[in-house]
Amino acid sequence: MNIETNVNGKLALLNQLTAGDYEAFLYDCDGTLADNMQAHKDSYVKVAADYGIKLNDAIIDELAGWPTVLVAGEISNRYNTPFDPADFAQRKSAVFINEFIEHTQPIDFVVEHLKQHAGKVKIGVVSGGSRKTVSKTLSVLGIDNLLDVLVCAGETPNGKPFPDPFLKAAEILGVNPAKCMVFEDGEPGVRAAEAAGMKWIRVDKI
């Protein structure tokens, strides 16, 4: 099976799974639209080394969807190494933007799904990343102009796995949460979608 056939097959399945009277599609960014999770992991590992931590990057998969500053706090706790999580998060973001972001590749079938439905249903991106980083990522992918709403870290009282970010997106769009479909690649995002009363799809399982 060549790559194009694989992408088309996954896109067809995703279209089947999202058929119905949905009024909004809400996509996570990293690992869902953008094939950049390894770049994020490498950024965390590099910054953690500055604090004398040899980071096992599996923690990034475990906490997928968490705001960066909360991931940093969890790293501090688990490795029993005191540091300012906000400072760590800022440094991690700088490393990611300076060294990796321009090379971001799309997860083709998910990005194509978004493009096919823009203008037909409301389109949102709901991410645990900073607005600066997510906006740049979406720009590199060429889809930043297709969004009706963008909700990022620190813009709601709680981030994923709490429902706040998805509920804020639905509120801004004026769409009932039950009419929203969420696209995710991590357990925290799925829990957030469920808590918000929204349907969800794990794109990494397709």
- pLDDT at position 3 is 55
pTM to 2 decimal places: 0.85
Strand 180-184 and strand 149-151: pairing? unpaired
C-alpha distances out from residue 98 to 57, 83, 138, 148, Å: 20, 22, 16, 28
Residue range 92-106, pLDDT digits in tens: 999 999 999 998 999
pLDDT of res. 64: 82
Write down the pLDDT at residue 7. 86
The length of the chain is 206
Residue 199, beta-bridge partner list: 181
How many other C-beta atoms can be found within 10 angstroms of the C-beta atom of residue 2? 7
- Flag whether pLDDT at 177 surpasses 80: yes
Q: Each residue of 127-162: pLDDT tens digit?
A: 998 899 999 999 999 999 999 999 999 999 999 999
Structure-model confidence comparison of residues 186 and 88, the more confident one: 88
Packing angle of the helix pair 108-117, 3-17 (nearest 10 deg): 50
Judged by average pLDDT, the poorest of 2-16, 28-42, 119-133 is 2-16
Q: 65-79 burial string, b = 16+ CB within 10 Å, else e?
A: bbbbbbbbbebbeeb
- Quick one: pLDDT at residue 199? 98
Report domain 3-36+106-205's class. Answer: alpha beta
pLDDT score for 144: 97
Over range 60-82, report the average pLDDT. Answer: 92
Q: How far is CA 164 from CA 39, 96, 153, in A?
A: 27, 26, 11
Percent of the chain having pLDDT more than 90? 89
Q: What is the structure's pLDDT at 1?
A: 45
